[in-house]
Amino acid sequence: MKGKNTILFFLIVVLIAGLAYVAVEGLTIGKLSIAPVRDELKLGLDIEGGVSVVYEAISDETGDDLARTMQQTKEIIGRRINELGLTEPVITLQGEKRLRIELPGVSNAQDAIDVIGKTALLEFDLVTGTTPAAEGMTTSDFEYEKILEGQNIKDAYVSKNSYSQPVVALKFDATGTDLFRDATSKATSGGTGKGQIAIVLDNQVISAPYTSIVIANGEAIIEGNFTYDSANNLAMLIRGGALPVQLDEIQTSVIGPTLGLNSFNSAIKAAFYGIILVMVFMMFFYRIPGVIASIALTLYALIVVYIMIGLNATLTLPGIAGIVISLGMAVDANVIIFERLKEEMKVGKSLRASIDGGFHRAMSTIVDSNVTTFIAALILFAFGEGPIKGFAVTLMIGIISSMLTAVIVTKSLLKLSLGFTDRKKLYGSRG
């Protein structure tokens, strides 16, 4: 049994070392290719650079009404940026009518600016006159009766029609379902048995389909000469909602990454040297448990970076600070465990019993400290913006990862290590 435990222990160590190598250098085997984590991580505006845009609202509102409108505009733009797949935007109000938006790592700045600034005023209009609506017309070119607006749409997404062409599928809310059912009923009640419904975006017809049935299930499809990208863009605008005020772009600037990259490289070097010093201290002071803690910390770092890659999270300098803090908590958890382990050995317990007792006694302290810090991170995430959210996210990921490695991995490796030695002095005992 001891031989099997020894083999398993070294297999786990080799596996973690291999994962660490792949994370740093990447791996290519035939068609399988794994990029290094430095190429997979999304970097924030303060590290990678990006685009900064300043908008000014065109509005006659003043006082509380203007403040409410600007706050609503800020929230809607935030949703649109999330739809673009950009993370950790910095959106701030400047003065009464200006809005500053900083977008990290934007590959096509103009496309992002175009989407953010659009008003996306969507209407469904029942054509009532003799002149039919056509794509490209404005609402002044035909007679119509407004059916509903964009706020009555619950969801919009890209689908395909019977010819496998991209279309935009819509789902209405309860009010929109009733309004659309009544409109299609009215459209089909004429002598021809069919009527035309114009779909109007920003006062321009984007599609003008005919319907010969009553649509009562709260779902509809916008057809047109869509590519997948244009259909997805329209669906995104509809989901993002209509801006309550027109915005005028008054300044656009590209933010260079040079200062951020220097700071990032310095932070990475500091973190690397700090981790090495901590590992050396742990191994010198606690011996085998210190070696195991170093292995667990390596696994901790791998879990954190790959979770961030999986979540498509953006790494900023505050985010690095969150990782470093959680790393310190992981080290602290190991120190508490190993000190309890030494106390158990001092009273004469066997090494295996000391390991169980040490973890049991340390658990309440570790859980309390991690839970309270996690709650603080949740509060920062709920009420913070931009880099503050990034700090909170990395701190929460780090706390969960440190609990996993310090409690489960460290304990398992300690017990497996008994397969090749049971000398208490190698576990930090002074007796």
Q: Which helix (H) or strand (E) holds 213?
A: none
C-alpha torsion angle, residues 367, 373, 375, 378 (rounded to 10): -130
Element (H, E) at 423: none
How does DSSP classify residue 407? I
Ordered alpha helix ranges (H), 348-386: 351-383
* CATH code of the domain made up of 50-119+247-255: 3.30.70.3400
Q: Which two tokens stand for residue 326?
A: 């959680």
Every domain range in the chain assigned CATH 3.30.1360.200: 122-242
Which two three-digit tokens encode residue 16?
């973690």
Cα–Cα distance measured from residue 280 to residue 81, given in angstroms and rounded to the nearest whole number: 44
- Using a 10 angstrom Cβ sphere, with 0-12 exposed, 13-18 middle and 19 or more buried, the burial of residue 232 is middle
Q: Give how far Cα 283 sits from Cα of 189, 209, 286, Å.
A: 84, 73, 5
- Token pair, residue 253, equals 């600037």
- CB within 8 A of 184, min separation 6: which ones? 195, 197, 211, 213, 214, 215, 216
pLDDT at residue 256, rounded to an integer: 64
SS3 of 379, please? Answer: helix
What is the spatial distance between Cα 209 and Cα 196, in angstroms, rounded to a whole number? 6
Residue 66 CA, distance from chain mean position? 31
Q: ∠ CA(420), CA(426), CA(427), 5° rounding?
A: 100
Cβ-Cβ contacts under 8 Å for 63 (sequence gap 6 or more): none
Report how far residue 284's alpha carbon sits from residue 286's, in angstroms, rounded to the nearest whole number.
6
Mean pLDDT of residues grouped by 10 in the chain (431 residues)? 75 87 80 78 73 84 84 75 61 86 69 61 84 87 87 82 86 89 85 81 79 85 80 72 74 65 71 82 86 88 86 77 84 87 84 86 88 92 77 89 85 82 73 56
Confirm if 423 and 354 have CB atoms less than 8 A apart: no
The CATH class given to the 122-242 domain equals alpha beta
Helices (H), ranges, 136-250: 174-187, 228-240
Residue 243 and residue 230: Cα distance in Å, rounded?
20
CA distance 131 to 133: 7
What SS3 state is found at 119? coil
**CA atoms in the 13 A half-sphere facing the CB of 86:** 29
Q: Which amino acid makes up residue 283?
A: M
Distance CA 410, CA 307 (A): 20
208 vs 201: CA distance, rounded Å: 12
The CA–CA distances, whole Å, from 380 to 47, 89, 386 equal 22, 16, 11
Give 425's contacts (C-beta < 8 A, 6+ positions apart).
Answer: 287
Q: In which residue ranges of the chain is CATH 1.20.1640.10 found?
A: 2-42+257-427
Separation between Cα atoms, residue 46 and residue 256, nearest integer Å? 9
Q: What is the structure's pLDDT at 375?
A: 94
Identify the CATH assignment for 2-42+257-427 out of 2.30.29.30, 1.10.10.10, 1.20.1640.10, 3.40.710.10.
Answer: 1.20.1640.10
Q: In what order do the strands lie in the sheet with 50-58?
A: 90-94, 98-104, 50-58, 246-255
Nearest to 296 by CA among 285, 288, 307: 288
Residue 335 CB contacts under 8 Å (≥ 6 apart), including other chains: none
In this predicted structure, what is the pLDDT of residue 18? 86
Residue 162 and residue 223 in contact, taking contact as beta carbons nearer than 8 Å: no
Quote the CA–CA distance of 334 and 362 in Å, as a whole number: 9
Q: Which helix (H) or strand (E) holds 95?
A: none
Q: Are strands 246-255 and 90-94 parallel, antiparallel or unpaired?
A: unpaired
Q: How many CA atoms lie within 13 A of 271 on its CB side?
A: 20
* pLDDT score recorded for residue 242: 61
Give pTM, 2 decimals: 0.61
Domain boundaries for CATH 3.30.70.3400 within the chain: 50-119+247-255
